[in-house]
Structure 1
């Protein structure tokens, strides 16, 4: 899969980001950790991955990136360009697919611990017939890597998992999954509407802990128009640690300073 295009979501929320405000910057992507901004750290990891050929950064103010040392051509080592953000991450990813096509590797600018080895592991585990692949980390691995972290857990019958903000949109019909994602974004404040769309039996099985991760992937793929969605379990629990709140930022800064 050499020459893969990678998309980094680096925009900010329309009303501003509380974590960016906390850190005193305009965009969360510009928060410094270990002497580099988060966007520089993410781009460096992508650039070091052999499969990645070019990088697209989705950001509403591209001029903010122009003077960052880690993004200079002599340092980055892989070509990168910017594209405008849309209203919400799913719309931005949809616009990126329309512009760049597939396969498209997607991650976020707050994935400050991202390593090229994780990208290699993830891509190697992606089945060739998958349309969309999402990375998850099992709870045991996450808590072993960072016992103090507080994550949002997907509680399946086979294990608890946390998302890793790493996706492969492998085939053109991945657009069905992005459209369904956008639908769920719009319904996030209407739980009854969301449950009706997912299916009450599906929601009940999940609530009772009877739903396996594979069954969940199958159901979500069906709701996305017959997309083959595959979940890949990552070995390193740090892959699930993004920077979403002040406690995450403090944790990641400690982890980076300890290495």
Structure 2
């Protein structure tokens, strides 16, 4: 049922007996949510339902998979729930979604006192990493710093900021940002600071390992903006439940407020 009043359109769903539906509703294999208070369909917004965050398309369909907003990526599982913490896709790539706001990590990220580096598409880097001519080594993702270690039978020394101060031979190197991999015969030993944008920063300032951690923006702080998203609903079945394993962020179109907005909670 569509009602338009004062240039505002609201959608409702009437059951077979004529009563108004509320809560979750599966229609043509897509999931929708009608607010318990007045039965209106949630559209083009985030909503916190039973302590979990969901994202709804402008047509009201519950989204799943990767979702991009204002330059940040989020992941919604097959249940539609926004995920936080570590995520591994079907190809074995690891991603990190900030526990406070669900944003996918990019660049340097300090997690449980260890530094990690994530490419522009969010994949965690392991092994050698090159940034602006400086070399780092990430052991299962964790940056080595302030010690000498044996890697492939060769000893390498690393400063407190993680920069390798030894000559780096012909090794496989991941390059920061794009995450492309090449062989390198270059030497390191540079003491120059290498910068990378810290996810969640309230400005465009850069940080490097060993510097003060920049606080992440709380959900909802960014306000409204033009956003992009993957096509929702493709992997749902049998009601909210299950796990989606989409690989990497992809995009289409949508509009939303950020998680944490008090106006997006169901009535």
TM-score > 0.5 by shorter chain = no
**Would you tell me which structure has more strand in proportion to its own residues?**
2
TM-score range for the pair, normalised by the shorter chain length: under 0.3
The normalised TM-score by structure 1 is 0.28
Rg comparison, structure with higher value: 2
